[in-house]
């Protein structure tokens, strides 16, 4: 009578497993239709998700075989013994890769590894008839592998979604001799782009007209100033310091980000691979002591005791749970608007003692407000604004955007300018017909040998005391006016500073602005340490000085212009948003551009550490229990196997639980929004 239920259970297990395999090997009409649709996806998406998807398919196949084998073995044990033979066949198939890797480790690496231990122990367990134990172990291990590959695939898909966001960067293309503003994603191969000083090159291309001095800092990682002329190639994200060029695009706008995107994905998965390698190395180191102890125990107390001791689960817990937890936290970060490009930053954040903010890039809104316009030398306020806007009309930095917004509100028509010369963080000089226009801070005017008129000298101190900042406008080597700007504090800045102080972090602020507005903002936010009047190239030196004093620095700055400072910091973060991720050099990009996400990032780092500790204890304590139980309390192999399976399940539970909690949290939020 027991034979029939066994056949039914075994048959169902085999049917479900084979059905899953057939879905992968012989796609249905719907799957074929979906594949045809996917072929129309962009090259960027294909580049990102192809490899993770292939690995996921292989892991699903192996997990299906493990599930079917477990079902057949259970059916054979409880109902119909002949069915166990088919289950053992599946287990033998899954053991073949283990034997191959074990052979490679012994013959090529000359090392006794975890694979050698498993290739020895599992067949012996099958010989002794412990089919359920081996099937259960394989099921959990292949479940862990599938979970890991699924996490990698989800990371690739989530990252693709981030990079496929339409870019807000405007570009200027020549159409019948006229400059036409277009979105980056609409740029096609062969389009001729017009690029001037202070602008960032949006796509790879070759210069067909003009010449320029460029800085390839965002490409090479270090400031590299080069002269470029006709027929020279210029790479995307390069900054034009001075000059004016016509660039023929070599890549379409939608394809330009693909290499950088793929690089980001490689950075993210590389850390999980390193975590996996560390886990495997630790597991390999303890495999030989396990084997020797088990062998000696088997010689003294009998083979069953030696076999039981080798079921200590620490090596498998390290191998399975560690990388899964890392990948899950990277995915959680993406879901919360945190692109963690370098996973090592999550580990480094645990040691951070000081949070350093760049004022403009992190604490205030990117675009300030034009508070007042002052004129002299016979010029009007409209003249001052028109000349300033004309010089800045193709610039994308915050001050330029504020000037252009003010000019637009007054319906000022902007004349065309040429001959740009740009000095990052200071100012810009252009030609308007036979006239020369200079726009910049007071140090830039001094560099241009321009004297400040007496009527404006009184303003030099006044706005600074009120928390304002100034830029000056000069025409034909004579300053004709000044524009006052007022920063607008981010809504969550004050709450973020309070939380950081509560978490016992030291907070510091770096600003290129004058002493008075910087100190006023620092006082408003409760920041005790600040540096005013700092040029972009000096930020890295300040961070290095703090590091020499024993501080571990997390720097929040401009991901495209603060490259040296970002690289100098122990952890680098930017609030650049999705539009500039490809060019962003920070290790972490807060995509939603909110300071409160920084608190989430710090907490995520702490949660990852706690999860690592839990998974380690879930493997270490049962391992100690099995070893002690076998050596001193006559623990049998059945109890050891049950402890092993429970320990491995608990480790995987700890590794997966953060993502499950995040999923429940998201579903709850969606439900509340619907209600």
- Which of 455, 486, 517 is the last residue before a domain boundary? 486
Q: In what order do the strands lie in the sheet with 553-557?
A: 338-340, 588-590, 571-574, 553-557, 354-358, 506-510, 529-531
Rounded-to-10 torsion of CA 487, 493, 497, 500: -140
Does one domain contain both 142 and 43? Answer: yes
Model pLDDT for residues 436-479, shown as the tens digit of each residue: 899 988 888 888 888 888 888 877 666 555 557 788 999 988 99
Does one domain contain both 10 and 88? Answer: yes
468 bridge partner residues: 486
- Which three-class secondary structure state does DSSP give residue 535? coil
Confidence of residue 570 (pLDDT cuts 50, 70, 90): very high
The answer to whether 243 and 213 are in contact (CB under 8 A) is yes
Classify residue 182: in a domain, yes or no: no
Q: Is the confidence at residue 390, as pLDDT, over 80?
A: yes
Q: How far apart are the first and last CA of the chain?
A: 54
Q: Is the confidence at residue 323, as pLDDT, over 80?
A: no
Q: How far is 397 from 633, CA to CA, in rounded Å?
A: 72
Q: What is the pLDDT of residue 504?
A: 93
- Which of 205, 233, 251 is the last residue before a domain boundary? 251
Does one domain contain both 401 and 523? Answer: no
- Which of 567, 591, 615 is the last residue before a domain boundary? 591
Q: How far is 401 from 389, CA to CA, in rounded Å?
A: 9
Domain that holds residue 231: 188-251
Classify residue 35: in a domain, yes or no: yes
Mean pLDDT, range 90-109, rounded to an integer: 86
Does one domain contain both 158 and 270? Answer: yes
- Which three-class secondary structure state does DSSP give residue 393? coil
Q: What is the pLDDT of residue 363?
A: 87
The answer to whether 572 and 373 are in contact (CB under 8 A) is no
Rounded-to-10 torsion of CA 317, 319, 325, 328: -130
Nearest by Cα to 463 from 333, 345, 368, 358: 368
Classify residue 195: in a domain, yes or no: yes
Handedness of CA 471, 474, 478, 481 (dihedral sign): negative
List Cα–Cα distances, 627 to 132, 293, 631, 643, 644, in angstroms.
Answer: 21, 9, 6, 11, 11
Does one domain contain both 204 and 285? Answer: no
Classify residue 596: in a domain, yes or no: no
Strands 225-228 and 205-215: antiparallel
Handedness of CA 61, 64, 69, 70 (dihedral sign): positive
Model pLDDT for residues 148-167, shown as the tens digit of each residue: 788 777 766 766 666 555 55
Nearest by Cα to 168 from 180, 185, 191: 185
Does one domain contain both 480 and 493? Answer: no
Q: How far is 77 from 135, CA to CA, in rounded Å?
A: 12
CB-based contacts of 656, cutoff 8 Å, min separation 6: 147, 324, 328
Confidence of residue 553 (pLDDT cuts 50, 70, 90): very high
Find where tokens 């209600």 sit: 675
């Amino acid at each position: 009578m027991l034979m029939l239920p066994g056949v039914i259970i075994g048959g169902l297990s085999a049917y479900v497993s084979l059905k899953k395999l057939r879905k992968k090997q012989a796609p249905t009409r719907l799957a074929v239709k979906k594949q045809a649709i996917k072929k129309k996806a962009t090259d960027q998406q294909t580049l990102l998700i192809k490899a993770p998807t292939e690995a996921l398919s292989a892991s699903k196949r192996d997990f299906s075989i493990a599930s079917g084998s477990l079902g057949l073995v259970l059916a054979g044990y409880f109902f119909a013994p002949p069915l166990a033979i088919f289950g053992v066949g599946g287990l033998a198939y899954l053991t073949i890769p283990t034997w191959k890797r074990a052979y490679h480790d012994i013959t090529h690496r000359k090392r006794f590894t975890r694979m050698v231990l498993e290739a020895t122990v599992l067949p012996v367990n099958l010989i002794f008839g412990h089919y359920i134990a081996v099937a259960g172990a394989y099921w959990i291990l292949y479940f862990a592998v599938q979970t890991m590959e699924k996490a990698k695939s989800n990371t690739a898909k989530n990252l693709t979604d981030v990079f496929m966001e339409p870019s807000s960067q405007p570009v200027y293309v020549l159409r019948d001799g006229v400059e036409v503003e277009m979105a980056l994603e609409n740029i096609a191969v062969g389009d001729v782009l017009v690029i001037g000083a202070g602008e960032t090159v949006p796509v790879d291309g070759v210069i067909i007209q003009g010449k320029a001095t460029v800085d390839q800092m965002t490409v090479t990682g270090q400031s590299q100033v080069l002269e470029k002329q006709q027929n020279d190639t210029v790479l995307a994200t390069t900054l034009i310091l001075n000059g004016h060029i016509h660039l023929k695009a070599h890549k379409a706008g939608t394809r330009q980000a693909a290499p950088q995107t793929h690089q980001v994905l490689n950075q993210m998965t590389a850390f999980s691979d390193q975590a996996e390698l560390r886990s495997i190395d630790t597991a390999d180191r303890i495999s030989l002591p396990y084997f020797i102890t088990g062998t000696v125990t088997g010689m003294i107390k009998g083979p069953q005791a030696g076999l039981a001791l080798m079921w200590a689960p620490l090596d498998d817990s390290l191998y399975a749970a560690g990388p899964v937890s890392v990948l899950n936290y990277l995915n959680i970060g993406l879901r919360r608007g945190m692109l963690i490009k370098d996973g090592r930053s999550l580990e480094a954040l645990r040691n951070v003692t000081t949070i350093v903010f760049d004022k403009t890039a992190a604490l205030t809104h990117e675009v300030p407000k034009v508070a007042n316009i002052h004129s002299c030398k016979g010029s009007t306020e409209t003249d001052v604004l028109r000349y300033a806007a004309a010089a800045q009309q193709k610039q994308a930095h915050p001050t330029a955007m504020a000037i252009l917004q003010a000019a637009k509100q007054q319906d000022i028509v902007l004349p065309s300018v040429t001959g740009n010369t740009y000095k990052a963080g200071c100012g810009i000089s252009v030609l308007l017909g036979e006239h020369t226009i200079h726009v910049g801070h007071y140090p830039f005017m001094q560099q241009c040998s321009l004297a400040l008129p007496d009527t404006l000298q009184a303003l030099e101190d006044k706005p600074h005391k009120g928390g304002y900042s100034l830029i000056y406008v000069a025409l034909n080597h004579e300053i004709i006016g000044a524009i006052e700007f007022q920063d607008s504090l981010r809504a969550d800045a004050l709450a973020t500073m309070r939380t950081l102080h509560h978490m016992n972090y030291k907070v510091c602020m770096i600003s290129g602005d004058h002493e008075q507005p910087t100190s006023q903002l620092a006082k408003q936010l409760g920041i005790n340490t600040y540096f005013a009047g700092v040029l972009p190239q000096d930020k890295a030196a300040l961070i290095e000085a703090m590091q020499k004093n024993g501080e571990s620095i997390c720097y929040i700055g401009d991901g495209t212009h603060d490259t040296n400072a970002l690289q100098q910091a122990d952890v680098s973060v930017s609030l650049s948003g999705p539009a500039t991720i490809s060019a962003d050099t920070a290790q972490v990009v807060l995509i939603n551009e909110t300071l409160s996400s920084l608190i989430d990032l710090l907490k995520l780092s702490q949660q990852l550490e706690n999860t690592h500790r839990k998974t380690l204890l879930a493997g270490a304590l049962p391992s100690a229990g099995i070893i002690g139980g076998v050596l001193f309390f006559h623990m049998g192999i059945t109890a050891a196997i049950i402890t092993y399976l429970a320990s491995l399940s608990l480790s995987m539970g700890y590794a997966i639980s953060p993502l499950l909690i995040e999923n429940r949290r998201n579903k709850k939020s969606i439900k509340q929004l619907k209600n």
